[in-house]
């Protein structure tokens, strides 16, 4: 069995997730992440811009060119997904679709009615083009009855999320009236693959980027039913890995030599909210001390923006409510607050962290004017 240090495992992940080596472009960055979580759109844009070494406007351009697609993917959350990876996202949704149907039945909407509703949503979008939730409801109500309106206009997805799981819908452009929803097969070309093949590809891709990892980590990242996730995992050739002081995991068999040769890094890296680094593993002890979990994984599903030191979370950061004072030689800029976790930050760490934060915000087109360091 291959035995490695925790620091080497983290360094391997950092490189594979383009946090120490940039991706060639924005879609490649999205592909490496298996999609950037985009519940908060600005966070997803920054995740991709950082990993590709591009401004967030390049992310907007990739969306406009339909090289990226925004849709509900793993864990039922919104992601910016590389267009070529949409079949894998749909495979995760196909696996959970029976649970959606069962949940609607418990609420009084039987499977035939739900199927008719989602099919009609796809048909309307295909014939009429992208539209907002309320515009879509206006088209559906005369056809199906007023009962459909709350199921379409609700902000948490409702019937739109089920239609997306069936491959009928994706998010389109943003307008002054809100998000437009589009007919996915009309928006991009989506090759057909079986759910089983899609999940197997997903498991392989996950291990290539987020390994070393366990099947439990994969299930947590994808939100898949246990049986489907374990079957997909079993179809991938892996090599067992012992991470000292952290137990056993696995890596792709073809990556074992690369992992064995990986050297630890002491690089300090700033990450935006909801970064996949913090979402891809069930056991977070490798990169986060247990006593600090509540500082990162907050109420209502919010995931803090953090600073990594060699891959381990060492501080959180946020925008300050206090505006930065304007300087004579510069326009007013952004003020951040940094809170170290645990021990007091050294001067050397503060300097490297300040540089990392400034580098991250370059991608957002924002200049930093002040960084306040608070005690934890």
Cα–Cα distance for residue pair 46/30, rounded to 1 Å: 11
**Prediction pTM value:** 0.94
Token readout for 109 is 């909407």
Question: Which residue in the block uniquely carries the two structure tokens 């951040």?
Answer: 336
Angle at 164 between CA 186 and CA 206, to 5 degrees: 105
DSSP class of residue 282 equals S
Residue 245 confidence (pLDDT) above 70:
yes
Tens of pLDDT, residues 122-174: 999 999 999 999 999 999 999 999 999 999 998 788 999 999 999 999 999 98
103 Cβ contact list (under 8 Å, min separation 6): none
Task: Provide the percentage of residues in the chain whose pLDDT is more than 90.
Answer: 89
Pairing of the two strands 247-252 and 169-175: unpaired
Pairing of the two strands 368-373 and 334-340: parallel
**In angstroms, what CA-CA distances link 55 with 59, 362, 365?**
7, 7, 7
Cα–Cα distance for residue pair 60/331, rounded to 1 Å: 25
Tens of pLDDT, residues 57-75: 999 999 999 999 999 999 9
């Amino acid at each position: 069995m291959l035995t490695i240090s925790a620091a080497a495992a983290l360094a391997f992940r950092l490189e594979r997730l383009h946090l120490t080596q940039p991706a060639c472009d924005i879609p490649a960055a999205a592909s490496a992440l298996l999609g950037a979580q985009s519940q908060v759109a600005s966070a997803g844009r920054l995740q991709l811009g950082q990993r590709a070494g591009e401004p967030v406007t390049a992310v907007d351009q990739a969306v406009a060119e339909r090289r990226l697609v925004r849709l509900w993917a793993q864990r039922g959350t919104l992601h910016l997904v590389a267009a070529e990876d949409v079949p894998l996202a749909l495979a995760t949704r196909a696996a959970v679709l029976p649970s959606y149907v069962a949940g609607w039945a418990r609420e009084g909407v039987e499977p035939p009615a739900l199927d008719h509703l989602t099919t009609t949503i796809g048909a309307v979008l295909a014939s009429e083009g992208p539209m907002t939730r309320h515009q879509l409801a206006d088209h559906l109500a005369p056809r199906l009855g007023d009962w459909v309106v709350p199921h379409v206009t609700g902000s948490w997805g409702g019937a739109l999320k089920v239609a997306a799981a069936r491959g009928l819908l994706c998010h389109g452009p943003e307008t002054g009236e809100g998000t437009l929803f589009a007919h996915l097969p009309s928006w991009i070309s989506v090759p057909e693959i079986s759910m089983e093949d899609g999940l197997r590809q997903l498991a392989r891709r996950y291990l290539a980027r987020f390994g070393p990892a366990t099947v439990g980590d994969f299930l947590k990242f994808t939100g898949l039913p246990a049986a489907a996730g374990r079957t997909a995992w079993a179809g991938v050739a892996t090599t067992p890995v012992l991470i000292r002081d952290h137990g056993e995991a696995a890596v792709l068999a073809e990556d074992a030599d690369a992992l064995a040769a990986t050297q630890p890094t002491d690089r300090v890296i700033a990450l935006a909210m909801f970064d996949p680094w913090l979402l891809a593993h069930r056991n977070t002890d490798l990169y986060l001390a247990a006593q600090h979990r509540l500082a990162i994984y907050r109420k209502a599903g919010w995931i803090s923006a953090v600073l990594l030191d060699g891959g381990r979370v060492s501080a959180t950061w946020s925008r300050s409510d206090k505006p930065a004072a304007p300087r004579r030689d510069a326009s007013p800029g952004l003020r951040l607050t940094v809170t170290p976790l645990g021990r007091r930050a050294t001067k050397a760490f503060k300097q490297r962290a300040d540089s990392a934060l400034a580098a991250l915000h370059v991608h957002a087109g924002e200049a930093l004017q002040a960084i306040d360091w608070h005690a934890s």
